[in-house]
Structure 1
Amino acid sequence: MKVRLFFRNYALRIAAMLMLLGAASVIGFVFLGLGLPEANVAIVYLLAVLLSTLLIPRYLFGFITSVLSAFAFDFLFMKPHFSFTVSASSYIITFVIMVVTALITSTLVSHTKLSEQRAQESEAETKALHGLTKCLSDASNIHDIAGIAVSAISGITGSQAGCLCFDEKGTPEKTFVQQISSEKQIQRSLDDPGAFLRQLKQGNTAVYPGEEFYDWPICGRETTLGVIRLPKETAQFLNKSQERLLFSMIESIALAMDRFRSAQQRIKLREETEQERYRSNLLHSISHDLRTPLSGILGATEMLLSMTDEDDQRHPLIEGIGNDAGWLYSLVENILSLTRLQSGKLIVDKQIEAVEEVLAGALGQISRRYPQYDIAVCAPDEPIWVPMDVKLISQVLINLLDNAVKHTQPSGEISISVMEDKQENQAVFSVKDNGSGIKEADLPHIFQMFYTSMPPHSNARSGIGLGLSICDTIVKAHGGTITAKNCSPDSGAEFTFTLPLGGK
């Protein structure tokens, strides 16, 4: 069909050219009958060349018309007539001048016509892009942008264009919008979004031909935002001007979609920041208000325990109150640490400290809280001096020991050790238990915030998943590392963290 249309257009142009040359020849014979000189006939042929160039804005046709008009003038009006033989040298000069004049005239007219055509196309493109941009600025969501784009592209191509949007992850939606008339758009389903996406990823071209549509990707700064779909019968016959305008429109659509997505992300980020701030403020207020009365309760229970014999019926009740208050106090401390971490107020004040003293302080708190547990300690005879924030590292040790207690029966074994790794210039701390260990599915996630795993024994109390996350943050703030592993299947877990031995 395209080849047939091509030959039909060229046949019409050739016919028009021949008609103009024929008319010029008839007028030339009339001029000769009136006794006018051949120069007037030459001017008529020049007029035919000019009209041909104006009616057929192609440089090739102007050139052919110029040559044919010169030879027609020579054949019909130069002596001897009806022959290409020239009897006088003056006729040769006339012939050459006529050819040159016709060529120059046709070239100038063709260039002028082409410049005018390009100017009109450029003006039309500018108007179309301006109208599209103005409409896109009023769009309230990504699907409004798609609808506006479809309407504008359908108008400039005279087709039923469509637009398929992609979600934030770069996955095609299950439906796309298509213009079916000047006033109506419909939603059509996409047969296989996964296969469609694979086709786009496999190709690396500006347009993807399909059985029903040709698809032009709408590329954003980071991902594909969608595709513009043109019916196959329309896409195959787009001229260069329409293709150029289509690409310009797709760029404007991509900018609008990118701008909308960026605005959405900013709004979402702002909302999340506000929610996080409110949550942190609430946690900080609650934790701060709970810490003071809990400290009083712990102090009172310790005093009452010292005043009560172990065989007294009140002793286990007071001991239970103390254990629960200690658990709550530890939870409050973790929540306060969390709020400081999230607000950026955690300041690491490193001082050179003896590791043994830090271990003793942490063990003292755990022993008071869980007196039924025996914790083995392994430390070198020589003191290890490490730059650290004593309060923060103590919290790490307490959290790790508390975690070991939660996952170990009172009859089980818990040990804590520290050693100096001179080769790596670091102190290595290890907390080990012989509980049920860590599930393989939990190992990659145990240092994530709010991630918990239930201990197996019934008397254990589950936390809220902050202790290990806070340990991870504190150790990394000191320039160290922390890891977890199972000692062996069903025989406990080991947490290891390191601290550099260098200066502050």
Structure 2
Amino acid sequence: MIDTSPVGVVLFDAQGGKPLSINREARRIIDRLRDPDQTPEELLYLISYRRGDGRQLSVAEFPLTRSLTTGETVRGEEIVLQSPDGREVSTIINATPIHSDDGQVVSVVVTLQDLASLQQLEQMRADFLAMVSHELRAPLSSIKGSAATLVQSGVTLDPAAATQFHRIIEEQADHMQDLITDLLDVARIEAGTLAVAPQPVEIGQLIEAARSSLQSLVAGGDMTIDLPPDLPLVMADRRRISQVLVNLLSNAVRHSPDASPIHLSAQTVGVQVEIRVKDEGDGIPEEQLSQLFRKFSQSPAASGGSLPGSGLGLAICKGIVEAHGGRIRAESAGLGRGATFSFTLPATEAPGTPEPVVLPQVVSEIERGTKRRVRILAVDDDPQTLLHVRDALTRAGYEPILTGDPDAVGRLITERRPHLVLLDLMLPEVDGIELLDLVPELRELPVIFLSAYGGDRRIARALEHGADDYIVKPFSPTELVARIHTVLRRWTMSTAAEPNEPFVKDDLVVDFAARRVSLADNPVRLTQLEYRLLVDLCKHAGRVRTHAELLRSAWGPAHPGRSGAVRTVIKQLRRKLGDNADQPSYIFSEPRVGYRMAQPEPLDAIHH
């Protein structure tokens, strides 16, 4: 848990002042200052220190030195660490001495919080407040000026001119109302109270409504729409999803040259429908892609001043899509090479279509909507979160099983047999990701992580270790229920699509019916994520599966979309199967493309 903490933690020996342990975040901070051939101990005596107000510190005044020599506890001091070549890191440092029974200082725990992200957020906040001030002052000035002209001119003003001033007042008041509505939407999203009312609807209807409202904006360009005829209905709040589409389409038009085409398409991805808006315009630098959906963030073009915007539109789109149980992401090959924004919505079966085959332990109650017997285990040390989850699950018809004790998870799974687990990422004593490895019963169930941290790296790490989805706190009851339903449906469909006959290659046997993998008759214990990836490779044995296809198959649309996740799980699979990457027997690499499973032995050879 300490190693995965977002705060740097270093344990120092009081006698020699040497670091005894350094967690991952502390190493990242240290690596920003030290040369490759330097040790952390050497760096300690080479860097200079100064307070946040600019005053230099001597080594004796440094918080660690004070704790080591006097046993003083240091709380929340802002210190700038600077290497001899000018590199520096601003930090908040705490130092706590650990005493022996006789009162001697035996060690010191130092925590370091990198202020870079906080400083960046503070700058974004300041820029945002400046933008809001400007966006409100500009229409107010127009309204005040027009109203003053009407009042002062009285009856002498030409009627046509008076009508124009009234039109200006109305348009600018609408502009202010839109901005205030955006601010209120962001507040609701952050509080997890954004209300959506999903109903079955056709994608084409949503797209047509958005296109109609942007008729004047897209008149000079070319918009192509590609919708397969067999697209299922989606569960969507018409007004809110139209708001998302209008935002994405208007961004695409504004960031593209005149007459540049805009491509809008949709496709079925597992139990969801993915909608894509693609342009051939300005493009987005790779390093900015992960920042786009943050509050206060603006696209490069907008930040340059050519295209004004509040920096709230994409953050609102993210909140709306996630409230529906979907995901939104951006892709771009770089500046000048266009961008693609895609988001997912839960698919629903059209009237009259047969219900899909479901997992034996979940039965058809999931798809029929009678979820009384579907049990959900929630594991979180925060009583308020458990109450929030219990109320949401109960109202949705699920049977909640609640615990704040990580040690009780295995027993509760055995005794209560839940169909899905909601697992807090940061539990006391143990990391939620570690719990996946420590409790073998979790490997047989879909797991959704609950986390107060929404960073891409942390999310990707959770998904790579077997999680099926994640929800960032605070979350609305609508989003929680939508994600549970989507994950259960995805498990249902993936199991129904598994082959009937086992896959056999040399000593490897994958028995799909029993969901059992063995090597030379010895069982191989796999996480659910490893098993799903292996099943996909076996189903397509002899064919190359690209990184994108494996991501979509094993993780669904929840994953941020980096091929490194596939490589990580393939590495784990090879280790458990005893497969050598240099001379593989089962899983073959296709550089920069993906992976291929060896052809299985013929069925008649197996039966003989």
Same fold (TM over 0.5): no
State the TM-score, normalized to the length of structure 2: 0.33
Where is the strand percentage greater, Structure 1 or Structure 2? 2
Q: Which has the higher contact order (CA 8 A, sep 6+)?
A: 2
Rg: which structure is higher? 1
Counting helix residues as a fraction of each chain, which structure ranks higher?
A: 1
